[in-house]
């Protein structure tokens, strides 16, 4: 396997690993508290919808969009995702944002599940909807990452394999541990995935600006794919500078205009 | 109408997330890169490097706006 193929496999593995941790936490919270059956039906339904969306999205992207449009749009979205993750990593490292804590997210899910009363007989709609929404939201990010990385590397199967290994790994850990997945260094993983998304996103979005010139040829990077390594170094150094300069304040974390809830944990 | 609003809200949350300034930084960076491309001042390699640095600067500005001391 080439270095690029390994890179694709590792990138999709870690991206899917962290997203699956979040989805699993939500499903476990409603499953343990209310109804495993309804949570599983919600999860399965979300996976079916995701499969349909993936097929339609992938087909449309490969059939109807020229390469430079793909690079521009996909690169732009990946760059936004990656920079959001890096921003959060910087804010968390400097104590300006609470560390993403699966224990807390699990507990808030449990509290919300208990607050709506006891589970209905048959299909419990609360468990179904919370599981569906959690899996669908996190799954959409996984689908997006797999399709974009796979399409740009022209190797969707490897991207799918990386993602599938990530999902299975988390599910195995969850089945063995049977408790919230707080032991996984999620914040560190997200920082690493953020670096990859930002670097690949920067590479593709700048390539894609070639759409606006005569001939619509992509902008060529010096050293071609090798410049992605330079971009990883650039984003790593920039984030380390911010983390070093900001330091860790003595006071309690000041939240930066946002809150995290079990409803929206895609962070 | 409610479904349309929910649909829009989903995509806003999915793409823009909880800090619109990041998306704005990327859009401004791309727009300035296109301007540079049209001006034909730099060759492809130099333009790509300058554009990457520009996006890094714009990201830094968006972050500094977030972390500046509040009055």
- Taking the C-alpha atoms of residue B26 and residue A86, their distance in angstroms, rounded to an integer, is 14
Cβ separation of B26 and A222 shorter than 8 Å?
no
Compare all CA atoms of chain B with the CA of A79 and give the residue at the minimum distance.
B26
Our measurement of the distance from residue A136's CA atom to the centroid of its chain's CA atoms, rounded to an integer in Å, reads 12
**Using N-to-C axis directions, what is the helix angle for B2-15 and A125-152, rounded to 10°?**
50
Question: Quick one: tokens of A199?
Answer: 């670097």
> What pLDDT is attached to residue A122?
73
B4 touches chain A (CB under 8 A): no
Ranges of residues in chain B whose predicted pLDDT is under 50: none
User: Nearest-5° angle of CA B46, CA B48, CA A61?
Assistant: 155
Tens place of pLDDT for every residue, chain A, 267 residues? 666 677 778 888 888 888 888 888 888 888 888 888 888 899 999 988 888 887 777 777 767 777 778 788 888 988 998 999 899 888 888 777 766 666 676 777 777 777 766 666 677 888 888 889 888 888 888 888 888 778 777 788 888 888 889 888 888 888 887 766 666 677 788 888 899 889 989 998 999 999 888 877 888 999 888 898 999 999 999 999 998 888 765 555 544 444 443 334 334
> What pLDDT is attached to residue A259?
41
SS (H, E, C) A206-251: HHHHHHHCCCCCCCCCCCHHHHHHHHHHHHHHHHHHHHHHHCCCCC
* A-B Cβ pairs (cutoff 8 Å, strict): 94
B54 touches chain A (CB under 8 A): no
Kindly report the nearest CA distance between residue B52 and chain A, in angstroms: 7
Range 23-52 of B in CB contact (< 8 A) with A? 23, 25-27, 30, 33-34, 37-38, 44-45, 47-49, 51-52
Residues of chain A contacting residue B52, judged by C-beta atoms under 8 Å apart:
202, 206, 231, 234
Mention every residue, 6+ apart, whose C-beta is less than 8 A from residue B29.
B51, B54, B55, B58
Half-sphere exposure of A81 (CA within 13 A, CB side): 29
Q: Given B14, B52, B66, which is nearest A202 (Cβ)? A: B52
Residues of chain A contacting residue B34, judged by C-beta atoms under 8 Å apart:
209, 212
A244 touches chain B (CB under 8 A): no
A65 touches chain B (CB under 8 A): no
> What pLDDT is attached to residue B71?
63
Q: Given A87, A96, A234, which is nearest B19 (Cβ)? A: A87
Q: Tell me the pTM.
A: 0.76
B16 touches chain A (CB under 8 A): yes
Backbone angles phi, psi at A121, to 5 degrees: -75, 155
Cβ separation of A77 and B60 shorter than 8 Å?
no
Rounded-to-10 torsion of CA A229, A233, A235, A239: 150
Kindly report the nearest CA distance between residue A177 and chain B, in angstroms: 30
> What pLDDT is attached to residue A121?
65
- Taking the C-alpha atoms of residue A101 and residue B50, their distance in angstroms, rounded to an integer, is 38
Question: Quick one: tokens of B21?
Answer: 């300034």
Cβ separation of B17 and A80 shorter than 8 Å?
yes
> What pLDDT is attached to residue A116?
66
- Taking the C-alpha atoms of residue A10 and residue A18, their distance in angstroms, rounded to an integer, is 12
> What pLDDT is attached to residue B36?
93
> What pLDDT is attached to residue A266?
37
Kindly report the nearest CA distance between residue A154 and chain B, in angstroms: 22
């Amino acid at each position: 396997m080439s270095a690029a193929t390994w890179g694709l496999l590792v990138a999709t593995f870690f991206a899917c690993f962290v997203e699956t941790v979040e989805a699993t936490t939500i499903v476990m919270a409603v499953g343990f508290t209310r109804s495993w059956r309804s949570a599983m039906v919600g999860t399965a339904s979300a996976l079916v919808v995701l499969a349909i969306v993936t097929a339609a999205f992938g087909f449309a992207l490969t059939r109807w969009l020229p390469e430079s449009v793909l690079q521009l749009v996909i690169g732009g979205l990946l760059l936004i995702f990656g920079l959001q993750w890096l921003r959060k990593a910087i804010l968390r490292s400097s104590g300006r944002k609470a560390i993403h804590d699966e224990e807390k997210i699990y507990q808030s899910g449990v509290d919300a599940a208990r607050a709506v009363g006891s589970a209905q007989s048959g299909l419990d709609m609360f468990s179904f909807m919370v599981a569906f929404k959690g899996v669908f939201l996190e799954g959409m990010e996984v689908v997006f990452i797999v399709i974009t990385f796979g399409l740009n590397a022209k190797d969707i199967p490897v991207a799918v394999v990386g993602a599938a290994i990530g999902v299975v790994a988390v599910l195995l850990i969850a089945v063995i541990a049977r408790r919230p997945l707080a032991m996984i260094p999620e914040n560190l993983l997200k920082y690493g995935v953020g670096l990859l998304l930002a670097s690949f996103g920067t590479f593709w979005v700048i390539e894609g600006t070639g759409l606006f010139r005569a001939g619509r040829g992509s902008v060529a990077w010096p050293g071609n794919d090798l410049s992605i390594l330079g971009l990883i170094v650039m984003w790593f150094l920039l984030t380390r500078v911010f983390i070093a300069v900001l330091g860790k304040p003595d006071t309690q974390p000041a939240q930066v205009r946002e809150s995290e809830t079990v409803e929206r944990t895609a962070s | 109408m409610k479904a349309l609003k929910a649909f829009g809200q989903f995509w806003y949350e999915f793409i823009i997330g909880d800090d619109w300034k990041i998306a704005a930084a990327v859009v401004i960076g791309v727009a300035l890169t296109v301007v540079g491309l049209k001006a034909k001042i730099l060759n492809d390699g130099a333009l790509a490097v300058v554009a990457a640095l520009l996006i890094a600067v714009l990201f830094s500005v968006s972050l500094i706006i977030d972390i500046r001391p509040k009055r």
